[in-house]
A and B are shown apart, each in its own frame.
Chain A
Amino acid sequence: MNSWPRISVKQLDGRMPGIEAKGLTEKSGRADVEEFELLVKKHQGKMYALAFGMLHNREDALEVCQEAFVKAFQAVKSFRGQATFGTWLYRIVLNLCIDFHRKGLTSRRASWDQGHLEAGMSIMGQAGEDPLRQLERQEIKKEVMEALQRLPSEQRACIILRELEDLSYKEIARVLNCSQGTVMSRLHYGREKLKELLRPYLRREREP
């Protein structure tokens, strides 16, 4: 354990104006596993949400996240500190998701299974809400997930980073290594497509 790279969480977390300038070189930069654990626990929820949004499968998303954190640990020295550690992690997760798709490793069955639907229903049911309304909402969510999967991966990534992670255009551009104009364009076309796919479920369509 002691031979693992050691680097302080304070250095890794938050915005850093140049990690190499702070002395994180191959010789002196060593990350500590206990400190890395804190980083994983801080970012795991968001990374999983991104991976799940991209892959639409729980087990695949967990696998990608696991791989992403292992890669992050190994590649800590290549982290230049120009962005936040979170932004850097998002990029690793997204690249792995794309690789996962490219290699055809994604599980065929989507994770939106009956079990989840029932679990959701029981939780909602306890809150005393109308079960029919809950069922309808679950169905809509299922359609939303399906619609997201039908978007090109670049548009899907933009939408997830914007809607779920609430990243600014600038931050999304950093993660995806593209211009802010490209981000806006992808968001626009992605939303247009979602609007088209989800039209039957939009309030205005349902309510006369």
Chain B
Amino acid sequence: MKDRCANITKILERYLDGQLSSRKALKVEAHLKECRLCQGRLAELEEIKSLVQETLVDQAADERVQGLWQRVETRLAGQEKQTAWFRWPWIFSLKPALAMLLLIVAVAGFFALSGIDLKKGPALNEVTILSLENSGPGVMVFQSAETDLTVIWILS
């Protein structure tokens, strides 16, 4: 009997889950009829199963689930909008144009700040470096004698 109990116990969970062939299921049922110990084991498994089922079914009932599609749709629509924006061809043609504009502004700004008269066409060799000192980690200072220009580099 003990041997038979051990064999049945091994497949009791599969019986509980309905995962046994009908032939094996009949064997289990025949044993259960005459074994109170295995009946008790099965009853315990069934109780755990029903407790878990009841709890999960109860907990899974949430009205907000009905609004899930709206959330998904909003996300999908948002992504579509973003994708479409980056898909526009003019964005790509604008990038080099924007870079060129920034370069022009930077060069013009440098000359405006340095006071160099572009009409005269000043030679770069007329600008002498008064001092170039390392003022600490990542900082360099340049001073021009002619224009009283001081440039500070902060290097990262």
Please list the residues of chain A having a beta carbon within 8 angstroms of any beta carbon in chain B.
1, 3-4, 33, 37, 40-41, 44-45, 48-49, 52-53, 58, 62, 65-66, 69-70, 73, 112, 120, 140-141, 144-145, 148, 159-160, 162-164, 168-169, 184, 187-188, 191, 194-195, 198, 201-204
Q: Would you call A44 and B45 a contact (CB within 8 A)? A: no
B65 on the A face (CB < 8 A): yes
B29 on the A face (CB < 8 A): no
| Size of interface on B: residues with Cβ below 8 Å to A | 35
Q: Which residues of B contact A148 (CB under 8 A)?
A: 52, 55
Q: Which residues of A contact B54 (CB under 8 A)?
A: 141
B17 on the A face (CB < 8 A): yes
Q: Which residues of B contact A62 (CB under 8 A)?
A: 62, 64-65, 68, 71
Query: Pick the contact of B13 from A3, A49, A188 — CB < 8 Å?
Result: A188
Please list the residues of chain B having a beta carbon within 8 angstroms of any beta carbon in chain A.
13-14, 17, 19, 40, 43-45, 47-49, 51-60, 62, 64-65, 68-69, 71-73, 75-77, 79-80, 84
Q: Which residues of A contact B76 (CB under 8 A)?
A: 4, 33, 70, 73
Chain A residue nearest to B49 (CB atoms) is: A163
Q: Would you call A52 and B59 a contact (CB within 8 A)? A: yes
Query: Pick the contact of A144 from B44, B55, B60 — CB < 8 Å?
Result: B55
Query: Pick the contact of A198 from B43, B51, B80 — CB < 8 Å?
Result: B51
Nearest-CB distance from B65 to chain A (Å)? 5
List 6 A-B pairs, Cβ < 8 Å: A52-B60, A70-B76, A73-B72, A164-B52, A168-B19, A202-B48
